[in-house]
């Protein structure tokens, strides 16, 4: 293996491992944050419904009503309104954190794909082999098998990827001339992709 490609290969392994671990951490925190936000939304709705019922009870007593019952209802309403305010603040913070994690995830996945492009381009220039490897190879084979029904969503479902990462894979294959990607997400094998599939089907292909 030429020195430049070998160097990129080891850099790729190290960087890919680090970035993939980071992506996993981000996804775990993102899932937890989204779940927390949904829980807070549910809590806010419950508290708002409770305040509405308490106010209805208070209104039913009439404007002239007084005494322990009225004061008790007023205190309950005040407490629940404070709880709603606190829950809304936490919800806002959770949504803001989720947005930040989404941005971090897109950046990490983009970086992973971009470095993969650099390694693949260097390898292809040295070897002259127009055959993708790794996830791109799997995506290309899926697109070939799906035929006219192939879409970015097909790759996403079959490989269990996020929408962003699946789109990046297909964009990478399109950038390298293996497939044509339409604006609606439809994917078609290009001539180079057809040749790559034939080469991958050869007995000695790895």
Q: What is the mean pLDDT of each run of 10 residues along the chain (206 residues)?
A: 49 69 87 92 94 90 70 90 95 92 79 59 56 83 91 92 87 88 90 86 63
How many other CB atoms are found less than 10 A from the CB of residue 136?
21
3-state secondary structure of 84: helix
CATH fold for domain 1-128? 1.20.120
Cα–Cα distance, 72 to 61 (Å, whole number): 12
| CB contact set of 206 (below 8 Å; sequence gap of 6+) | none
Confidence (pTM): 0.50
Per residue in 97-148, pLDDT (tens digit) is: 998 998 888 777 766 665 555 555 555 555 555 677 788 889 999 999 998 8
The domain limits of the chain are: 1-128, 131-206
Hey, which CATH number is domain 131-206, 1.10.10.410, 3.40.50.620, 1.10.10.10, 1.25.40.10?
1.10.10.10
Count of Cβ atoms closer than 10 Å to residue 149 Cβ: 10
């Amino acid at each position: 293996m030429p020195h430049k490609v070998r160097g990129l290969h080891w850099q790729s392994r190290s960087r890919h491992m680090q970035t993939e671990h980071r992506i996993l951490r981000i996804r775990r925190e993102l899932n937890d944050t989204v779940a927390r936000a949904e829980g807070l939304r549910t809590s806010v709705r419950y508290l708002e419904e409770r305040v509405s019922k308490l106010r209805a009870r208070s209104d039913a007593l009439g404007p002239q009503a007084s005494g322990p019952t009225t004061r008790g209802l007023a205190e309950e309403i005040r407490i629940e309104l404070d709880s709603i305010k606190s829950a809304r603040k936490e919800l806002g913070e959770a949504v803001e954190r989720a947005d930040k994690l989404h941005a971090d995830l897109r950046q990490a996945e983009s970086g992973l794909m971009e470095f993969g492009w650099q390694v693949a381009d260097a390898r292809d220039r040295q070897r002259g082999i127009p055959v993708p490897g790794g996830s791109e190879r799997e995506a290309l084979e899926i697109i070939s098998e799906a035929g006219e029904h192939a879409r970015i969503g097909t790759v996403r479902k079959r490989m269990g990827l996020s929408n962003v990462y699946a789109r990046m894979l297909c964009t990478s294959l399109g950038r390298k001339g293996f497939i044509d990607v339409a604006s609606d997400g439809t994917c078609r094998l290009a001539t180079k992709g057809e040749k790559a599939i034939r080469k991958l089907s050869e007995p000695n292909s790895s």
